[in-house]
Chain A
Amino acid sequence: MDRAAVDARIRELIEPFNKKGITITEDTSFANDLEFDSLTVMDFVAEIEDAFDIIISMNQQAEIERYGQLVDAVHKMQAAS
């Protein structure tokens, strides 16, 4: 799966979590723009892990603040698995 395909899939997955329907860009911040709390993060991460059959550990989650970083990380992980 190339980066664009990963991006498209994650956009689908994020839809139900984007309660305020904001426009998502590479720079969108999960904590500040999307206002994800720790519970939402857990559910959202679980969706992505299941969709791509990967693990995003808490250590890795701590490094991911913005949407573009998530797409990069998932793209890299699913390519490796």
Chain B
Amino acid sequence: MQDNAPVSRESDGKDLFSKFDPIIKMREDLLSSGVEDPFNLVMEQVLSPTRAICNGRETILLGTYNYMGMTFDPDVVDAGKQALSDFGTGTTGSRVLNGTYQGHKDVEDALKEFYAMDHAMVFSTGYQANLGIISTIAGKGDYIVLDIDSHASIYDGCKMGDAEIVPFKHNDIEAMEKRLKRIPEGAGILVVLEGVYSMLGDVAPLKEMVAIAKRHGAMVLVDEAHSMGFIGENGRGVVEAQGVIDEVDFIIGTFSKSVGTVGGFCVSNHPKFEIMRLVCRPYTFTASLPPSVVATAATSIRKLMHGSDKRAHLWENSKRLHAGLKALGFKLGTETAESAIIAVIMPDLGQGAAMWEALLKEGLYVNLARPPATPGNMTLLRCSLCAEHTTEEVKTILDIFEAAGKKVGII
């Protein structure tokens, strides 16, 4: 026996992937019940913001976050085509090197106009906007106080930085204030909130929370991903609807919902904000958005400024769907419609997946959300409405829910 022979590991089938065994098993159990895979849907054709051919069937889309239906807007599509012809397919570079084109400046100008703020910084995704801003501004010795139900990108931003992370119970004003009171004198504090929480579609009490945060000397960041273009008089989000937009320090948003393309941003009035472009790594060390994407985003954002009729129709849709589902006997995430997300609470994952499949077979797509991504380990069918859904479509959606709910035995 050679002493210097490589040591082979105990071959009990364990390797670095063994930690994923529980989730592999959960998935296998679900699929072995014979349901269509809820996380492997392919849209073969997309006909409009509200219709697609999914797994061979024409389907009403009710789970796309395409709130304002801008994805097929002719002006937006034309702007993208023009930029594709004029500037090519991609920038092949970072924003701080060769990746800032006229279109990137233009979309940042559109955001400044939209929010009436001094500074706007565009990231390649919404995820990176949270990751970059949070991890960069809150450093060692600082404290981040955040809602426990915050989005993964917020948690990942916290984890990437060196600040102390202090979560509080969802939307609990008192729990937030207690934690702020206990933070050592002189420490820097960032309070991170969301306007609309995407799992249940509920809205934060920002008016009270922002006032308390400011009283404790904190800076406030609000993620308005699920409210842009729709909530508030000018579509600036829950901060606008609740009258605190001038008190918050940073608003984070995305192009991948109401704007209808992909990308993320932060807007701010902080006088030193521009330095973020040099110190924020998820902004610097990645390629910028393609010219066609920023052109569609800029055109879409400027159109959203004048979208009050669409906003009114989307609210009608949301209220109609909420009231209809409630009348059918479904358990919902909120008492009334608070946003364009209506979450239907399922008894468990098995019945949730069965219901999801029944809806799909009847021609309706919704999002299936399951633990651990959900609060309280709930299984949810998340419906997100679009301003382009007609009143008749909402009626059809309710009919499909009724048929599927009876078939699965949930109502």
Query: Could you list which residues of chain A lie within 8 angstroms of chain B, going by C-beta atoms?
Result: 37-39, 42, 46, 49-50, 53-55, 57-60
Contact = CB atoms under 8 A, between A and B. Distances in A.
Given A42-B148, A46-B175, A54-B182, A59 B169 contact: no
B241 interface: no
Contact of A57 (B165, B169, B175, B376): B165
Contacts of B376: 39
B287 to A, nearest CB: 32
A60 B143 CA distance: 13
Interface in B162-184: 164-169, 175, 178-179, 182-183
Residue among A37, A38, A59 with most chain B CB within 10 A: A59
A57 to B, nearest CB: 4
Interface string B126-169: 00000000000000000100001000000000100000111111
B377 interface: yes
24 contacts: A38-B372, A39-B376, A39-B377, A42-B148, A42-B169, A46-B168, A46-B169, A49-B178, A49-B179, A49-B182, A50-B178, A53-B182, A54-B182, A55-B164, A55-B166, A55-B179, A55-B182, A55-B183, A57-B143, A57-B164, A57-B165, A57-B166, A58-B165, A58-B167
Contacts of B175: 46
Contacts, number: 32
Contacts of A60: 164
A49 B167 CA distance: 12
A39 B148 CA distance: 10
A54 B166 CA distance: 11
B161 to A, nearest CB: 11
Contacts of A46: 168-169, 175
A22 to B, nearest CB: 22
Contacts of B165: 57-59
B95 to A, nearest CB: 31
A56 to B, nearest CB: 9
B23 to A, nearest CB: 15
Interface residues of B, number: 17
Contacts of B148: 42
Interface in B368-385: 372, 376-377
Interface in B287-339: none
A53 B182 CA distance: 7
Residue among A50, A54, A57, A59 with most chain B CB within 10 A: A57
Contacts of B164: 55, 57, 59-60
Contacts of B143: 57
Residue among A38, A42, A58 with most chain B CB within 10 A: A58
Given A39-B377, A57-B143, A58-B158, 8 more contacts: A39-B376, A42-B167, A46-B168, A46-B175, A53-B182, A55-B183, A57-B164, A59-B164
A57 B165 CA distance: 5
A42 B372 CA distance: 14
Nearest to B146: A58
B235 to A, nearest CB: 34
A37 B22 CA distance: 15
B33 to A, nearest CB: 24
B406 to A, nearest CB: 32
A12 to B, nearest CB: 20
Interface string B66-87: 0000000000000000000000
Contacts of B377: 37, 39
A75 B376 CA distance: 31
Nearest to B178: A50
A80 to B, nearest CB: 10
A50 B178 CA distance: 8
Contacts of B158: 58
A10 B372 CA distance: 28
Contacts of B166: 55, 57-58
A37 B178 CA distance: 24
A38 B169 CA distance: 12
A51 B148 CA distance: 20
Contacts of A39: 376-377
Nearest to A37: B377
Contacts of A55: 164, 166, 179, 182-183
Contacts of A53: 182
Nearest to B155: A58
